[in-house]
Structure formats: C-alpha cells, structure tokens
Amino acid sequence: MNRRRFVKQTSTLSAGIAAFASPAILRSAESPGDKLLVGVMGLGRGLDHCNALAQISNVEIVYLCDIDDARIERAAKVVSAKQERPPKGVKDFRKVLDDKSIDALFIAAPNHWHAPAAIMACSAGKHVYVEKPCSHNPREGELLIAAARKYKRVVQMGNQRRSWPAVIEGMEKLRSGVIGKVLYARTWYNNARASIGHGKQVPVPPSLDYSLWQGPAPERPYVDNLVHYHWHWRWHWGNGELGNNGVHSLDLARWGLGVDYPTRVTFGGGRYHFEDDQETPDTGIATFHFGDKGAMWDGSSCHPRPAEKLSSVIFYGEHGSMTDSGSGYKILDSKGKEIDQGTGPGGDKVHFQNFLDCIRDGKRPNSEIEEGHKSTLLCHLGNIAYRTGHTLNIDPKTGRIIGDSAANRLWTREYRRGWEPHI
C-alpha cells in the first residue's frame, strides 16, 4: 500500500478521533521523509519567522509570500543563504495552499488577514502558525477554532512566551501556590510612537498589490500612511495597541490566573497625543473581572514613561507576588524580598519548534488556537468597551457579550464580497 493511500484510509478510519490523535493523520501526504515543507505569508514580521525557521532542522521554506515585490526579494536573499534550495516568491498565498506538498503555513500578514487566511489554510489541509492576535474580531476566532477541529489541523498562535522554559517554570510555581492564591494581575505596555500624520490618496506603488493586501476587508482608497505598518491604528484593519502588544501580557495574565472568560470588561482612555489618522487609543487601561480574580492592562503607546520601571506583568497573591523578567521570572515575599527567580532562553525558535513537533507527533501545541482565541478575545472585548464607551457584561462560560446590541454589532465585521470566511 503506498503512503498516499495509507494516509487516506487511516484518515477515514479515524474520523471520530479527537483533533490531536495521530501524526499519520496530521502529516501532509506529499512531504518527503521527516522534513516539513512550509510557506511564510507576510514578510515584515515574517522575516523573523524565516530567521527562526532557518535554525531548526528538518524544515524547509518552500514559499515566500507577500503583496510587495521588494519584501519578497529581501526575504529570498536571506532564506537562500540559509538553505540548500531557494524559495519560491509569490504574491498570492492561495498558490501555497494549492501545493499539496506543503505541510504548514506561517501567517504574519496584517491582522485582518490572520483568521481568514488561517481558515483557508486549514481547509486546504495545512497546519497553521498564525501571529497574534489570531483574529480581527471575536467571530473570526470562533470560526478559526471550528476550522481547526473540522480539518484536524495543528494551529498555534504566536504568543511565544507560552514556550519559553523559564516562563513555563514560573507559571508552574505560581500554580503550585508559591505565593498562595493568585488574586490579581497587572500588565503594561509602553512605547514612544510618533504621529502618523494625515494620509493623502496617491497612486498605489507598482510593486504593491493593494487589492490583494485588502483581501477580506471592504475596499478603501490607498493612502500614503497605511502600508506597511500604520494600519494597526485603524479599526478597519487593525486592533490598536491592545491587540498589537497587549495580547502578549494579557495571555500571561490569563495563564497565571488560571482563567478563561471574564464576567465584566471596562476601558478608560483615549487618543491624547496627536491629531492624526489614528483611530485607536494611545493611552488607556482595560480591566477584566473574573469573579474571584481580576486583571488589568495599562497601555501608553506614545509616551515611554521612563521614570517607571515596569515589567510586562506582575501577579499578586495572598503571600507575595511574581513578576516577569524578560524571558524569566522573579518571586517576592509579602514584604517585597526576592525569594526565587528563574531565567532561560526566549525568542521565536522554541515556539516554532513546539509547533513543528506537534505536527509530527500529534500532541497539543503550547498555544493551541482555542487558548490563543481566549487571550485574543480579552483584547477584542477591551476594544469594544472603548468603542462603545461603556462596561461590557460577559457570559463566563462562552465569552459572549450579554444583552448589548451596540457591542454585539462589533462582534464580527462586514467582508469584501467573495472573501467571507467559511468552514
């Protein structure tokens, strides 16, 4: 029996098995030997993906995908210098999905592409590593989980701290009761972002496929302060600083507190620093109530607050506190004396390795998409609270907003015709 026929029959016999059941089901039928063949979509942050993947054995980047020729050319030079076979450059990621030999797609495109591209990849039989946030809106996260389950794909979100050894160690100590019951988590993000000004409608650069860049988002005119980064601060494509960076620290908070969905969410803040095209708040505090525990995120995008020496997250317990220290942790007693600490490697490589290992062995990845969605949802809920200007009440079993028509209108979005996500 040849391998293709064996995998097909095995998949049929195992249709009722849970999503992470057998590497024979999970591997692509065409991938030779033990080497995994992948494509990388979005070559800004995706260039970091390429560099990390180059450090991992038995994986080959076959496709580099971006809507900008210059980015493809730049990434191709980097990858070609690090692997034997040069990668293929394509603008349309659907060409990657059409190639049956490809095992996985790494998605580092803008936020409005994350879930739609990941859902399409799952339906095409590819495993998916998707950057944070895993969705542009809450409904997309729900659909992505459904796609991962239906097609039995490994889907990992790019909150890489879930795979850092010392962070894992610190969380295990937190869960073991090192500071007693964990009651509250505070998280922060500071930066010194400049104004993006007011964009002008100009011709699309010839190297850029702007129509494909828009993809699932309803069409808007091209302006000169949008691509490649400032889309983050416009609701049509991005999720502001809360979705851009808050997701990392709020994921740690949710992990350490051992919680899933909140019961109440608020956001206080606004756009204070510049009069420009940015729509998302540059300063504010999101708060999350989980019944007997709580968390908050304090963001300051346009002022680095140099006088404040803040970690990205600190946990408060009955008998002390635990703070992150880069890729490690510090534990303090109730009087603030350090009683324990741990350090270890960080970066992308270890998180990518976990994802690739799970494709081979069928195990659950460290940031499986359902966990990624729960953390992303906190960011969406914080943004919805800001945009509606009022407190949200949440069903703690489902994460859904209760009895709030204005807020629920932001649960999903309008899609460009022909690009609506389907499972």
- Domain ranges (residues) in the chain: 3-160+351-368, 162-198+211-348+375-408
The confidence score (pLDDT) of residue 110 equals 98
Are both 3-160+351-368 and 162-198+211-348+375-408 of the same fold? no
CB 404 within 8 Å of CB 392:
yes
> In this structure, which topology does domain 3-160+351-368 adopt according to CATH?
Rossmann fold (3.40.50)
The confidence score (pLDDT) of residue 309 equals 85
* Secondary structure letter of residue 289 according to DSSP: E
The confidence score (pLDDT) of residue 142 equals 98
Mind listing the pLDDT tens digit of every residue in the chain (423 residues)? 333 433 343 333 333 334 443 333 455 544 545 899 999 999 999 999 999 999 999 999 999 999 999 999 999 999 999 999 999 999 999 999 999 999 999 999 999 999 999 999 999 999 999 999 999 999 999 999 999 999 999 999 999 999 999 999 999 999 999 999 999 999 999 999 999 999 999 999 999 999 999 999 999 999 999 999 999 999 999 999 999 999 999 999 999 999 999 999 999 999 999 999 999 999 999 999 999 999 999 999 999 999 998 899 999 999 999 999 989 999 999 999 999 999 999 999 999 999 999 999 999 999 999 999 999 999 999 999 999 999 999 999 999 999 999 999 999 999 999 999 999
Nearest CA to 182 among 307, 339, 378, 322? 322
Our CA angle for 109, 163, 384, nearest 5°, is 50
Supply φ then ψ for residue 220, to 5 degrees.
-135, 155
Query: The pTM is what?
Result: 0.92
Q: In which region does residue 371 sit, left (phi positive, over 0), alpha (psi from -120 to 50) or beta (all else)?
A: alpha
CATH, domain range 162-198+211-348+375-408: 3.30.360.10
DSSP reduced 3-state for 322: strand
Nearest CA to 411 among 350, 16, 297, 394? 394
What are the respective helix, strand and coil percentages of the chain, to the nearest 5?
35, 20, 45
DSSP reduced 3-state for 389: coil
Q: Where do the DSSP E strands lie in 366-415?
A: 392-393
Give the relative orientation of helices 247-257 and 369-388 as an angle to the nearest 10 degrees.
Answer: 120
The confidence score (pLDDT) of residue 26 equals 53
The confidence score (pLDDT) of residue 13 equals 32
